[in-house]
């Protein structure tokens, strides 16, 4: 496969049982490219290995004063020089192509897995581990896949040189043939401790990456509470641990490199000593001794490839294991309903008993934000992680059809979940709102319903080329150039543009002021008319606009009615919504009756709603 043909039409189904099997699967997926690189590697190393022959001929020709033989050796050197250059260029080209295509395959597999799992991926695997797999691990995996062809060519050429020496000069050839395997295997006892040290280094580096990722993500919060120095100290400590582990690993690999230099040097000394004795005895010619010496000196070159493949495998195996662990993650099957698998109607969660009527705005009050997040994931078809021995969580039903039975694409088209911390990708506002949609809601309508007027004004002032068009203004990664409330409203607008059959919103206005929140509540109700909407919130402003409010204090439905009715009839609901405690009397009771008759009770939840509506 050529680089210009990327991406792969189908990256395939990887073998993720172990890291070694994953590497083997990658190798098998590009046998053609590996064979091509091996051929060019044989051309390159074979030409290099053949250089001792014309060198020996040239030396013997000089001793014998034979001009013809000297010219022949010169011609052979030129020919071999051309083959060495051509083979080196094409080997590098083919090996790098194998590297890039294998890395691209893994990247596509990771992207497909991310699409499959969605937001649930970071809840099942640490974000730092995903970053490590997507960056450094891919490089190490590609290094091993790319180094296999060079190692194969070096190994085959070494065997060929040893066989040739045994045939041409049995006395010296046997010494070399016995010595080279010893040299190649001498480093094997050092590889396990070197691998363990490399694994420890990667583990510490992964933890440092996770710490850095978490610190950067929460930098604004850390600055707000003055925690930068604390986390900087933690990262500095983790970084020093990585440095110490890297030094320990480098010491072992430097010892392996030293062994690969010392032992071949000893073999070379032994061959020269023995060869000189044979030459003095008249058993071999001077040119033949030079040829043998040059051949042994050449064998130092493929031995470096043996060291490289050992290092590449040692570094890539844990990386492949980590990549396989990420790629092995799965969610429920693609579905058991053939065809489009469309579904519509009431959304029902058997685990909690929650039912959201079709075409209505249903608000859910959980009291526990974490429980609300888990409920939102479940409503979107993302079941929680569980032990194999634990019972399966029943699937959410949409119109009586389990979401797990729908094809994944159909389930995601039907139900869209916006969590409490939505992500804004970098790009222009037009690109942000360019999402798969029904076409019923325009971008302008969604922005208006989400009360993004001030956001558009701010973006227009920073628009590209001073054109004043907010849709052309670039939004930085994760919307860091915007405030929390602005990010929330743009994310809400994006969800409204999509216009799914069922929209689940988890605390969509937690960072918005009360007056803007009241207008968003009106806009959300109007734009979602006829569509099923579930809002997980404890905001009285949103709750008052809902057709029905469901109260789940302990994970199951305890009551359902309108917001104002629940305030009057359900003390536990009122305590959650108004933040009152049992030992805190209502502030209305602390006010004299004569003072309350002539004005609205300032803390009465229902009257306060009316006040905000009039102001808005």
Instruction: Give the residue ranges of DSSP H helices in 415-499.
Output: 429-432, 443-449, 453-461, 484-498
Taking residue 114's Cβ as centre, other Cβ atoms within 10 Å add up to: 16
Q: What φ, ψ does residue 397 adopt, rounded to 5°?
A: -105, 135
Alpha helices in 121-169 (DSSP H): 121-124, 127-132, 138-168
Rounded to whole angstroms, the Cα distance separating 604 from 116 reads 47
Structure tokens at 334: 């693609």
pLDDT 10s digits, 391-430: 667 888 888 888 878 877 788 788 999 888 888 878 888 8
**pLDDT band at residue 158 under the 50/70/90 scheme:** confident
Angle at 310 between CA 309 and CA 312, to 5 degrees: 60
Q: How do strand 415-418 and strand 427-428 relate by DSSP bridges?
A: unpaired
Q: What is the pLDDT of residue 222?
A: 59
Q: What's the CA angle centered on 320, arms 318 and 324, to 5 degrees?
A: 115
Select the CATH number that applies to the domain covering 9-327 from these four: 1.10.10.10, 1.10.10.60, 3.40.1010.10, 1.20.1560.10. 1.20.1560.10
Classify residue 248 by burial, with Cβ atoms within 10 Å: 0-12, 13-18, 19+.
Answer: middle
Section 34-52 average pLDDT: 88
Residue 254 reports pLDDT greater than 50: yes
Residue 170, classed as helix, strand or coil, is helix
Is the pLDDT at 590 greater than 60, yes or no? no
Rounded to an integer, what distance in angstroms lies between the CA atom of residue 368 and that of residue 370?
5
Residue 477, pLDDT > 80, answer no
Residue 502 in contact with residue 347, Cβ under 8 Å? yes
In this structure, are residues 101 and 30 in contact, taking their beta carbons and an 8 Å threshold?
Answer: yes
Token pair of 139, please?
């490089």
The 10 Å Cβ neighbour count of residue 343 is 23
Radius of gyration of the chain (CA): 35
Q: Show Cβ contacts of residue 14 under 8 Å, excluding neighbours closer than 6 positions.
A: 22, 25, 26, 109, 324, 327
Q: Give, in degrees to the nearest 5, the angle at Cα 121 between 119 and 126.
A: 120
69-73, 79-83, 374-378, 476-480 — most confident range = 79-83
Give, in order, the Cα–Cα distances in Å from 80 to each of 48, 296, 485.
7, 18, 70
* DSSP, residue by residue, 324-379: HHHHT---S-S-S--TT----S-EEETTTTEEE-TTSEEEEE-S-HHHHHHHHHHH
Assigned CATH for 347-423+500-584: 3.40.50.300
- By C-alpha distance, which of 372, 365, 420 is closest to 579? 365
Sheet holding 397-398, edge to edge: 354-356, 347-349, 397-398, 401-402
pLDDT in tens, 529-586: 999 999 999 999 999 999 999 999 888 999 999 999 999 999 999 988 887 655 544 4
From CA 380, how far away is CA 424, in angstroms rounded? 19
What is the maximal distance between C-alpha atoms in the chain? 130
Q: DSSP code of 476? A: P
DSSP code of residue 451: T
Residue 594 pLDDT class (50, 70, 90 cuts): very low
Quick one: pLDDT band at residue 226, thresholds 50, 70, 90?
Answer: low
- Does 340 have pLDDT greater than 60? no
272 Cβ contact partners less than 8 Å away, ≥ 6 residues apart? 293
What three-state secondary structure class fits 362? Answer: strand
Give the number of other CB atoms < 10 A from CB of residue 312: 22
Of the given ranges (159-168, 328-337, 456-465, 593-602), which has the lowest mean pLDDT? 593-602
67-76, 152-161, 379-388, 532-541: lowest mean pLDDT where? 379-388
Average pLDDT in the 468-473 region?
79
Inter-residue contact 607 to 578 (CB < 8 Å) = no
Other residues' Cβ atoms within 10 Å of the Cβ of residue 36: 19
Confidence check: pLDDT of 476 > 80? no
Question: Among the listed ranges 36-45, 399-408, 459-468, which one has the minimum average pLDDT value?
Answer: 459-468
What is the rounded average pLDDT of the residues 495-506? 92
Is residue 606 over pLDDT 70? Answer: no
- Condensed to tens digits (0 to 9), the pLDDT of residues 354-365 reads 999 999 999 999
Q: Per mean pLDDT, which of 73-77, 189-193, 216-220 is the most reliable?
A: 73-77
- 475 exposed, middle or buried (CB, 10 Å; 0-12, 13-18, 19+)? buried
**What is this structure's pTM?**
0.65
Instruction: Please report, for the chain, the start and end positions of each structural domain, with discontinuous segments joined by +.
Output: 9-327, 347-423+500-584
Do 6 and 305 meet the contact criterion of CB atoms below 8 Å apart?
no
pLDDT of residue 155: 86
Q: Which two tokens mark 279?
A: 């030459």
pLDDT > 70 fraction of the chain, expressed in percent and rounded: 85
> CB count, 10 Å around CB of 227?
14
CB-based contact 201:249 (threshold 8 Å): yes
Confidence label for 456 from pLDDT (cuts 50, 70 and 90): confident
pLDDT, averaged across the chain: 81
Are the CB atoms for 342 and 517 separated by under 8 Å?
Answer: no
The SS3 assignment for 394 reads coil
pLDDT at position 595: 37
Distance, CA of 600 to CA of 596 (rounded, Å) = 7
Tokens of 224: 């707000």
User: pLDDT-based confidence at 220, cuts 50/70/90?
Assistant: low
> Which region among 373-382, 509-518, 546-555 has the lowest average model confidence (pLDDT)?
373-382
CA torsion angle 94 97 99 105 (round to 10): -140
Residue with the larger pLDDT of the pair 206 and 550 = 550
pLDDT at 53: 80
Answer yes or no: is pLDDT of 484 > 50.
Answer: yes
Residue for token pair 């004063």: 65
What is the structure's pLDDT at 59?
80
CA-closest candidate to residue 304, choices 266, 252, 253: 253
> What is the mean pLDDT of the segment spanning 122-141?
76
Four-point Cα dihedral 421, 422, 425, 430, nearest 10: -140
Query: Side by side, which strands form the sheet with 559-561?
Result: 415-418, 502-506, 532-536, 361-365, 548-551, 559-561
Given a cut of 90, whether residue 505 has pLDDT beyond it is yes
Query: Quick one: what percent of the chain has pLDDT higher than 90?
Result: 22
Task: With cut-offs at 50, 70 and 90, classify the pLDDT of residue 591.
Answer: very low
């Amino acid at each position: 496969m050529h680089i210009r043909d990327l991406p792969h039409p189908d990256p395939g189904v990887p073998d993720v049982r172990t890291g070694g099997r994953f590497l083997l699967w990658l190798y098998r997926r590009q046998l053609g490219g590996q064979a091509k690189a091996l051929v060019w590697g044989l051309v390159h190393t074979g030409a290099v290995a053949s250089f001792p022959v014309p060198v020996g001929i040239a030396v013997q020709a000089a001793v014998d004063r034979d001009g013809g033989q000297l010219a022949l050796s010169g011609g052979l050197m030129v020919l071999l020089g051309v083959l060495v250059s051509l083979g080196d260029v094409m080997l590098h080209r083919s090996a790098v192509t194998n590297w890039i295509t294998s890395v691209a395959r893994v990247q596509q597999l990771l992207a497909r897995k991310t699409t499959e799992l969605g937001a649930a991926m970071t809840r099942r695997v640490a974000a730092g581990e995903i970053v490590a797999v997507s960056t450094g691990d891919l490089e190490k995996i590609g290094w091993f896949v790319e180094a296999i062809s060079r190692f194969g060519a070096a190994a085959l050429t070494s065997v060929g040189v040893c066989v040739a020496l045994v045939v041409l000069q049995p006395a010296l050839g046997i010494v070399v043939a016995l010595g080279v395997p010893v040299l190649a295997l001498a480093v094997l006892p050092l590889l396990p401790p070197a691998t363990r040290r490399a694994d420890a280094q990667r583990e510490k580096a992964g933890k440092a990456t996770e710490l850095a990722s978490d610190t950067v993500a929460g930098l604004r919060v850390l600055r707000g509470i003055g925690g930068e120095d604390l986390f900087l100290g933690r990262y500095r400590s983790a970084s020093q641990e990585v440095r110490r582990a890297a030094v320990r690993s480098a010491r072992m690999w430097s010892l392996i490199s030293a062994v690969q230099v010392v032992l071949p040097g000893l073999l070379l000394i032994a061959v020269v000593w023995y060869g000189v004795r044979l030459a003095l005895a008249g058993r071999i010619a001077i040119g033949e001794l030079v040829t043998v010496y040059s051949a042994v000196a050449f064998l130092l070159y493929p031995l470096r490839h043996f060291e490289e493949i050992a290092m590449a495998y040692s570094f890539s195996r844990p990386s492949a294991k980590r990549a396989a662990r990420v790629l092995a993650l799965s969610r429920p099957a693609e579905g058991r309903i053939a065809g489009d698998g469309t579904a519509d109607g009431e959304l029902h969660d058997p685990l909690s008993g929650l039912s959201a009527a079709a075409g209505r705005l249903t608000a859910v009050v959980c009291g526990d934000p974490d429980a609300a997040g888990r409920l939102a994931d479940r409503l979107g078809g993302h079941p929680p992680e569980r032990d194999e021995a634990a019972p399966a969580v029943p699937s959410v039903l949409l119109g009586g059809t389990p979401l797990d039975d729908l094809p994944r694409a159909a389930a995601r088209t039907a139900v869209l979940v916006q969590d409490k911390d939505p992500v804004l990708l970098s790009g222009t506002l037009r690109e942000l709102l360019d999402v798969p949609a029904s076409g019923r809601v325009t971008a302008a309508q969604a922005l208006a319903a989400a009360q993004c007027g001030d956001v558009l004004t701010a973006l227009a002032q920073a628009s590209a080329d001073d054109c004043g068009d907010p849709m052309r203004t670039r939004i930085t990664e994760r919307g860091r150039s915007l405030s929390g409330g602005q990010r929330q409203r743009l994310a809400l607008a994006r969800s409204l543009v999509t216009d799914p059959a069922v929209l689940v919103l988890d605390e969509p206005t937690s960072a918005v002021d009360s007056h803007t929140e009241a207008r968003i509540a009106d806009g959300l109700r109007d734009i979602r008319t006829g569509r099923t909407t579930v809002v997980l919130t404890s905001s009285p402003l949103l709750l008052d606009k809902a057709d029905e409010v469901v109260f789940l204090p302990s994970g199951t439905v305890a009551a359902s009615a309108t917001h104002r009715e629940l305030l009057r009839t359900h003390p536990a609901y009122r305590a959650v919504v108004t933040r009152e405690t049992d030992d805190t009397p209502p502030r209305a009771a602390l006010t004299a009756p004569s003072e309350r008759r002539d004005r609205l009770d300032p803390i009465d939840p229902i009257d306060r709603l009316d006040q905000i509506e009039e102001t808005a």
